[in-house]
Chain A
Amino acid sequence: MKYIKYITPVLFTLLMLNSCSKQLDLSPQDTITNSQYWSQPNDLTIYVNQFYTAFPVNSGYFVSPFWADINSDDMVPGTYDKRLAGENTISTGNASWDFSRIRSVNYGLENYQRIKGLFSQLSAGVGELKFFRAYFYYGLVKLYGDVPWLSNTINIDSKELYDGRTKRNIVIDSVLADLDSAIAYLPLKASASPNRLNKECALLFKSRVALYEGTWEKYHASTPFGVNGADFQRYLQAAATASKALIDLGTAQLYIPNDPYHYFRDIFGNTDLSSNPEMLLWKKNVEALGMGLHIQGALYQGGDRGLSKSLVESFLCTDGLPISTSPLYQGDDNLTDVVTNRDPRLSQSMWVPGEPYTVKNNVVLEYFSLPWLDQTGEYRCTSGYQLAKGRTVRVELAKDDGETASIIFRYAEALLNYAEAKAELGSLTQQDVDISINKLRERVHMPDLDISAIATDPNWLYPALSPQINEIRRERRVELACEGYRLDDLERWADIDRLVGQRPLGAKFKQSDFPTLVPGSSILVNADGYIDPYQKALPAGFKFKVDRDYLLPIPQLELNLNENLDQNPGW
């Protein structure tokens, strides 16, 4: 017994030594290391999922493609766009110089081959990866022009870290090559998983990228943003070919709403687009899955924005003539006059008096009467032309909430891309117009465009360009108004030059409708009686610097870290 006091500590020591041998070899219990992943085809699918959130969609209150044109001449946000005003600074856009998603795509492309299986089981996933690399690079090229091209993941000791930028046309060639792979690998929409990328998307996107690069190189040819040895014809041809291929596939069609009144507005604001032949890719929002949106509530209010006078005036009259020449035009003294005898897309893109405003149990509770000019903040309509496109007409409204689907790619764009590419190539035929522009016009009961008899518009925005291009650009502006395409179009056409020194205007202000508003104080109105929101903020109009602001500056930090990077023109 007396030895027990010596034995106890010895036992303790042994116990502890025993417990320690393995104690420090601990590996993660809730994450997977690289070597454990990439074993089955589904691993690729799950990996690709992450990239779908890159598309611009409606979410919460404030982000929406339907508001995205506030950075262009189509819309007038409460606070002017700094880029159009020439007020970008060297620090603007730092967060956009981001290659993390490109790295993620490259990581997927480097590793998917480790999966044991037939390529046919992986091809859709590989097609998606290629598509997304193209998508992300196209985004960077639009912002910065030349960008470093990376086809592999790199590490902190890689020499690629310190490479210079790759010329934009070379990057775009790689983007188009990726898209060719995507077109080859992705399944047709009919056989693809719902809400995933398909061949049609890739064709449409290829036409978009090629048209962008083609027109950019063409219209910036003599500017600091031009490309040496530009071969824009090749890109325009690629755009025409890709969009024509999509048209010829025949799997996508324009959607013709059966609402006899809202036959244009009803294309938007729906919750389920799965059987809609026009929507090549869309995002489903399910409230029960925590994806409820407030966009419907936001489209009820003014949203601190409004359509510009310039956009409203670009809509033709129902006789196919512009307002400058059409005898049907009623003037713009009030909203009703503005939309009378006009392309119905106008009255279905903005709120007009008498339009059902709130509907419950199929009973109209409220009709729209006046734009929300005398409100403030997110309630206010800035211009007097209040956005309605995107507001649902089909279902009864729980005003604030909803599951409105986000449209990512719609077929109508392909028709516009095709017509424009052909027109820019100089090979546009009436037949081309009939399978593109005129399809869009037919849907809204507008007369066809006859390219042999285009009526002259003294207010054409591009008098130096052909009537064809003027009318095709008009059609694009009208059809895609407020959907987030306009800034890209202005940039690639070098068209922001046109806006310098100008202020966007709104509707005519009618004091009797808004007795509390005091012109010059609580509402700003110009000498002709039009609402002039930037009268005091931008007395000299937009000061976009045409030799600088078409591209963002490379962040200073990046220039410091890599001396092989050069700054964009003008910065």
Chain B
Amino acid sequence: MKRHVSPDPIKWIRSFGFLSGFGGFILLTLSSVNLYASDANRDNFSGENHKVIGMISPGAAYNLSGIVNSPVRGKITDNNGNALSGVSIVVEGTNAGTTSGAGGEYELRDVPDNAILVFSFIGYSELKIPVNGKSGIDAVLQENNAKLGEVVVVGYGTQRKVNLTGAISQISGADIENRMTSNVVSSLQGMVPNLNLSFGNNGGEPGASPSFNIRGPGSLSGGSPFVLVDGVPQDMNSINSNDIESISILKDASASAIYGVRAAYGVILITTKKGKAGKPSISYSGDFALQKPTTLPKIVNSVQFATMVNDAFKNAGQAVKFPDAVIDKMKQQMANPGSLPSMVPNPLSPNEWDNNQLYGNTNSYDLFYKKYAFNQNHNLSVSGGGNAFTYFLSGGMYNQGSQYNFGDEYYHRYTLTANLSSHVTKWLTIGLNTRYTKRKYQMPHVYPLIGDYYHDIPRRWPIWPVYDGNGHLAINTMALMKDGGRNVTDENQLLNSFVFAVDLTKNWKINADVNISQDYNSNNDHAKTVYMYKVDNTPAAQSYSVPNSYAVSNYKAFYNSNNLYTSYEMKPGRHYIKLMAGVQSELSEDQTVSISKSQLITDNVAFLTTATGATTIGGSKGHWGTMGVFGRLNYNYDEKYLLEVSSRYDGTSRFQESRRWGLFPSVSAGYNIAKENYWEPLADKISLLKLRASYGTLGNQSISGSYYPYLASLGINTNLDWVMGAERPLFVTAPGLVSPELTWETTTTLNFGLDAAALNNRFSFSFDWYKRATDDMFGPLESYPAVLGVNPPRRNNASMETKGFELSMGWSDRIGELSYHAKVLLSDNRTKITKYKNATGTLTDYYEGQEFGQIMGYETVGLFQSDDEVAKGPDQSFIGTKWGPGDVQYKDLNGDGKVNKGTNTLSNPGDQTVIGNNTPRYSYGVSLGISWKGFDLDMLWQGVAKRDVWLGGNFFFGDAGNYNQITIYKEHLDYWRPDNTSAYFPKPYMTSLKNKDIQVQSRYLQNASYLRLKNLQLGYTLPAGWVDRLSLGSVRIYFTGENLLTFTKLLKVFDPEDLAGAYGPGKVYPLPTTYTLGIKLNLK
């Protein structure tokens, strides 16, 4: 074996050293970057080794033999002879270049005779012309057909886009790299049809990411898409979007069948950037952003608050809370702030502050959130290499600052990536892809008796003053956030992939990879004792913060997957055949250990060792594995008739032996009409017209909550709430019921698609229609009489069917120096339950024919306006008592004179009916962009055209019958009272009497459709001339805004995308609106 020598490892080592000071790398000055760049150039110039291996790069040739330098002139036109201005002309391998003028003319000085000129212009194919000593070179640029030549990453390989037969969307890393979002998923919103996001209970919390599905809910047990990064399953959040080369979204069965075991609900393949042979390319990007909450409710003033509360007490037949004397003082305080003490001692207990005489006028949101949080994002990458060795190294840092005024939270993400590849011999390439991600979050400790802060803040009423008479914080939530303990999560993930590629012959390749991913996460949670102050200024420990405690939870996980696959390609005549086959194994292990200890000696030194109280220890340990054998055949005839057949045979550890294995086949075919001879006359206009069809079956093994769902085991628990002797003992509970018969869920997808490109590919079009059936689904537990005394077993007991479509249409063109593009995406999906065991038709369970997401409730007639109306109305005693003016009148749908739920079954639903559906329908995205002389402007609008939601709760109604939970915003003042009989909201009650008016009903069903300006970018790329003087490759500065405008019919208290909340709809961390200034530098 001949020994090859390459200079690249040296560069690699230098680069690595350069990156190793990662934490401080952004502080490196540009000059040092320049210095490095010139070093790198010098390496390239000492080109002996290039000679040895016969790899003479054009740039090197220029430097080695650049004897004569002379000017070159010329004119640039398109293939219709029109002059093209603004075309970039660069001497390959150098920074020297210019752009063409108005008449398409250009001039370049000092061009070496043997140089190569590179002509590039948006919308046109790049053209390279060797100078060969000529002084006049005219260029004719061809309009870009590159889109047809585009290569798409598919499972275990790549494929030309024109030859795809499955439903695959691909977007490039460049499309999302300047987005100021904390995670990749959010950046994809509105970019990929039928990739649907939803923000859960964590909302816009720093570091939180939305959940997402492809083509609608796959399973009632919540199947989610399978995400692989360079072939290894990964959490999308651990990826730095700047490292992404491309993202493929595999939607139908044929596209994802090769991942059978885990791909039932779609696959997302992320490919990271790799080094390319050539000079080192260094790029840096930096973003500085201000962030604020997108939507915050508007709080009423103290008098409005007290008035509505009093009305609520009166309506419930109770004594009012705020006597007139108190309200008069509130008015006085509002008119003349500071004229009264805002807190007074309790007359019955003079050292306590009186909770009934509070004369603040506080907007707790203004107090709770900062006006702006500061975020920043920095990325540095170096890539390059020679024929024998390529590298891509990158480091990124994303910091999200505190949005809280009192809470000093943060989210930091650091990523280090190295993708290295070496051609060891002519037939063997080995590579190492390694990625380390660290994510660190801090937030205020959440005191369990308080609940979460988003639940608490709405309840810090306007009457509360911020500070007590002695100047201490008077609102316990603020005190807890400010002085309470902190909860710090530290997540570390290290992935190493060893990749081997063997070229047995020119057409026969073998690939093997070994992937090892390790996670080490820890959470340290300090519950600190917080003090508030009594009238005489003595501190009083807040009861919910006693005793103080410290808890540590450590999680470690190990994941290994091994892939071995081989492919053989042949092209007999106009036939093309490619065969691929392989095996895969996976093993995943994880373990959690958690310890908490109470009664710290001091809160200043908080750890397990400084606590003297009770110790609680918990933990879990588990593992699972899969095995699979897979194969794929691709065939086409003249790229006109396309066929793909693939299959996978999979086994999983999660089912018992006899139910463990499953076969998942798929087939797809395509017909590119534009390739037919008879199409020739039209080929100018329509260059692609492809029909596609696919059909296939996939499996899902994931049942949340258990790795061993077919085995029954006893629950072992610690810390019984009962002391025996001196300790809280262990207790063991009975095993649940399991179904040993449990096996795979399967999905079967039928997909039809049409792709087209027209008018020199300025117009592109793609449409897919699909039907996905999920069978043997791990449905919800069936209902059995309660005498069973335990949850029935999980079973493969349900089926459902999703139908939908995706449409994308793009147009890009140029008018003179102005180029522009527009893209419209539209998608939809609807899901129906097709099988579920519910013999009695109980409405609280799923039933056959039910549409997923349906909202069942009463129809509303309106608000009663008089006792007479109540008397004439139907009997509503099933719902509640004491009906009167201002209460809701429901519709007696079945005409029996009573409003009720019947037996709450399909055959007797009483007066309930389907009033809406909360599935987001017709999701769309519209992106528009223009660029002109270095300026570029891009917009992304995203929305949902149809969606109903039932919100309910305090956030919606203001009061839900419980004084402690009352939450009054401007909108809530429109409640029924004798002088406001046309009110939207019913009359308030301060007891559970309220329940009768807040039943799920049509009147208060909300329209959650929305349109949102997700992203706006305005950038300017500095002219090449300026940049040259700075010895830079390119410089772009830009402004980016996220979540800038929202249009919705929803009650203004809510954000249409952020409707969850552990304590009720809307009680959730708001989504951020960010304004970013950024810069991107390329050094060449």
Interface residues of A (CB under 8 A from B): 1, 5-6, 8-9, 12-13, 15-16, 19-20, 23-34, 37, 43, 46-47, 49-50, 52-53, 59-61, 78-79, 82, 85, 87, 89-90, 97-104, 106-108, 148, 150, 153-156, 160-163, 193-196, 283-292, 294, 297, 357, 365-366, 369-370, 372, 374-377, 379, 400-401, 516-518, 521-524, 533-539, 555-562, 565
CB of A9 within 8 A of CB of B510, answer yes
Q: Which chain B positions have C-beta within 8 A of A196? A: 724
Q: How far is the CA of A28 from the CA of B738 in the complex (A)?
A: 14
CB of B878 within 8 A of CB of A90, answer yes
CB of A291 within 8 A of CB of B842, answer no
Q: Which of A20, A28, A32 contacts B708 (CB 8 A)?
A: A28
B958 to chain A, nearest CB (A): 17
Given contacts A28-B622, A50-B731, contact A288 B599 (CB under 8 A): yes
CB of B716 within 8 A of CB of A193, answer no
Q: Which chain B positions have C-beta within 8 A of A193? A: 724-725
A299 to chain B, nearest CB (A): 13
Choose among B348, B723, B731 the residue with the greatest number of A CB atoms under 10 Å from its CB. B348
CB of A43 within 8 A of CB of B787, answer no
Q: Which chain B positions have C-beta within 8 A of A30? A: 619-622
B211 to chain A, nearest CB (A): 27
Q: How far is the CA of A357 from the CA of B348 in the complex (A)?
A: 11
Say yes or no: is B815 at the interface (Cβ < 8 Å to chain A): no
Say yes or no: is B449 at the interface (Cβ < 8 Å to chain A): yes
* Chain A, residue nearest B622 (CB): A29
A78 to chain B, nearest CB (A): 7
A310 to chain B, nearest CB (A): 20
A555 to chain B, nearest CB (A): 8
Given contacts A23-B587, A28-B713, A291-B723, contact A516 B512 (CB under 8 A): no
CB of B566 within 8 A of CB of A9, answer yes
CB of A557 within 8 A of CB of B844, answer yes
Choose among B1, B502, B657 the residue with the greatest number of A CB atoms under 10 Å from its CB. B502
Q: How far is the CA of A291 from the CA of B652 in the complex (A)?
A: 44
Q: Which chain B positions have C-beta within 8 A of A377? A: 355, 963-964
Q: How far is the CA of A90 from the CA of B384 in the complex (A)?
A: 74
Say yes or no: is B5 at the interface (Cβ < 8 Å to chain A): no
Interface residues of B (CB under 8 A from A): 1, 314, 316-321, 323-326, 346-349, 351, 355-356, 425, 427-428, 449, 500, 502, 504, 510, 512, 540-541, 543, 546-547, 549, 562, 564, 566, 583, 585, 587, 598-599, 612-614, 616, 619-627, 651-653, 657, 660, 707-708, 711-717, 719-725, 727-735, 737, 782-790, 792-793, 840, 842, 844, 878-881, 901, 903-905, 963-964, 991-992
Q: Which of A26, A31, A59, A518 contacts B625 (CB 8 A)?
A: A26
A198 to chain B, nearest CB (A): 13
CB of A518 within 8 A of CB of B905, answer no
Q: Which chain A positions have C-beta within 8 A of B991? A: 79, 537
CB of B653 within 8 A of CB of A26, answer yes
CB of A32 within 8 A of CB of B728, answer no
CB of A32 within 8 A of CB of B713, answer yes
* Chain B, residue nearest A196 (CB): B724
Given contacts A16-B562, A16-B564, A27-B708, contact A49 B788 (CB under 8 A): no
CB of A31 within 8 A of CB of B714, answer yes
Q: Which chain B positions have C-beta within 8 A of A560? A: 840, 842, 903-905
When A and B form their complex, which 5 residue pairs have the shortest distance between CB atoms, in order from nearest?
A103-B789, A537-B317, A536-B317, A31-B713, A49-B731
Q: Which chain A positions have C-beta within 8 A of B904? A: 556-557, 560
* Chain A, residue nearest B907 (CB): A560
CB of B323 within 8 A of CB of A517, answer yes
A545 to chain B, nearest CB (A): 12
* Chain A, residue nearest B589 (CB): A29
Given contacts A37-B714, A377-B964, contact A288 B598 (CB under 8 A): yes
* Chain B, residue nearest A515 (CB): B325
CB of B653 within 8 A of CB of A5, answer no
* Chain A, residue nearest B964 (CB): A377
Complex A-B: 27 CB contacts under 8 Å: A5-B427, A19-B562, A23-B625, A24-B653, A28-B707, A49-B729, A53-B722, A99-B786, A103-B790, A108-B734, A156-B737, A195-B725, A287-B613, A288-B613, A291-B721, A376-B321, A377-B355, A401-B543, A401-B546, A516-B326, A518-B323, A521-B319, A533-B319, A556-B901, A557-B783, A560-B905, A561-B842
Q: How far is the CA of A163 from the CA of B730 in the complex (A)?
A: 36
Given contacts A26-B653, A34-B714, A87-B881, contact A195 B724 (CB under 8 A): yes
Choose among B346, B587, B707, B723 the residue with the greatest number of A CB atoms under 10 Å from its CB. B723
Q: Which chain A positions have C-beta within 8 A of B598? A: 288, 290
Q: Which of A37, A103, A292, A357 contacts B546 (CB 8 A)?
A: A292
Q: Which chain B positions have C-beta within 8 A of A374? A: 347-348, 356
CB of B716 within 8 A of CB of A32, answer yes
B899 to chain A, nearest CB (A): 12
CB of B844 within 8 A of CB of A369, answer no
Choose among A8, A161, A560 the residue with the greatest number of B CB atoms under 10 Å from its CB. A560
Q: Which of A31, A89, A148, A518 contacts B787 (CB 8 A)?
A: A148
Given contacts A560-B842, A560-B903, contact A522 B621 (CB under 8 A): no
B751 to chain A, nearest CB (A): 31
Given contacts A1-B1, A27-B708, A49-B722, contact A33 B842 (CB under 8 A): no
Q: Which of A19, A372, A376 contacts B348 (CB 8 A)?
A: A372
Q: Which chain B positions have C-beta within 8 A of A538? A: 317
B448 to chain A, nearest CB (A): 10
Given contacts A28-B708, A46-B732, contact A156 B842 (CB under 8 A): no
Q: Which of B623, B735, B792 contacts A29 (CB 8 A)?
A: B623
Given contacts A288-B598, A290-B614, contact A46 B731 (CB under 8 A): yes
CB of A283 within 8 A of CB of B722, answer yes
CB of B719 within 8 A of CB of A290, answer yes
Q: Which chain A positions have C-beta within 8 A of B317? A: 534-539
CB of A26 within 8 A of CB of B623, answer yes
CB of A558 within 8 A of CB of B785, answer yes
CB of A154 within 8 A of CB of B787, answer yes
Q: Which of B449, B627, B786 contacts A97 (CB 8 A)?
A: B786
Q: Which chain B positions have C-beta within 8 A of A78? A: 318
Given contacts A154-B787, A195-B722, contact A5 B712 (CB under 8 A): no
7 additional A-B pairs beyond A30-B621, A375-B355, A538-B317, beta carbons within 8 Å, are A79-B318, A154-B787, A161-B788, A285-B723, A289-B614, A377-B963, A533-B319
Q: How far is the CA of A476 from the CA of B449 in the complex (A)?
A: 36
Choose among B612, B621, B784, B793 the residue with the greatest number of A CB atoms under 10 Å from its CB. B784
CB of A156 within 8 A of CB of B903, answer no
B479 to chain A, nearest CB (A): 15
Q: Which chain B positions have C-beta within 8 A of A98? A: 786
Given contacts A33-B713, A99-B786, A557-B842, contact A82 B730 (CB under 8 A): no
A39 to chain B, nearest CB (A): 12
Q: How far is the CA of A534 from the CA of B707 in the complex (A)?
A: 55
Q: How far is the CA of A71 from the CA of B861 in the complex (A)?
A: 35
Q: How far is the CA of A15 from the CA of B563 in the complex (A)?
A: 11
Q: Which chain B positions have C-beta within 8 A of A90? A: 878
Q: Which chain B positions have C-beta within 8 A of A107? A: 734
Choose among A28, A292, A370 the residue with the greatest number of B CB atoms under 10 Å from its CB. A28
Q: Which chain B positions have C-beta within 8 A of A285? A: 723
CB of A33 within 8 A of CB of B623, answer no
CB of A31 within 8 A of CB of B715, answer yes
CB of A99 within 8 A of CB of B787, answer yes
A279 to chain B, nearest CB (A): 14
Q: Which chain A positions have C-beta within 8 A of B723? A: 195, 283-286, 289, 291
A404 to chain B, nearest CB (A): 13
B597 to chain A, nearest CB (A): 10
Given contacts A60-B449, A290-B616, contact A375 B785 (CB under 8 A): no
B900 to chain A, nearest CB (A): 8
CB of A376 within 8 A of CB of B562, answer no
Choose among A8, A29, A290 the residue with the greatest number of B CB atoms under 10 Å from its CB. A290
* Chain A, residue nearest B730 (CB): A46
Q: Which chain B positions have C-beta within 8 A of A366? A: 349, 351
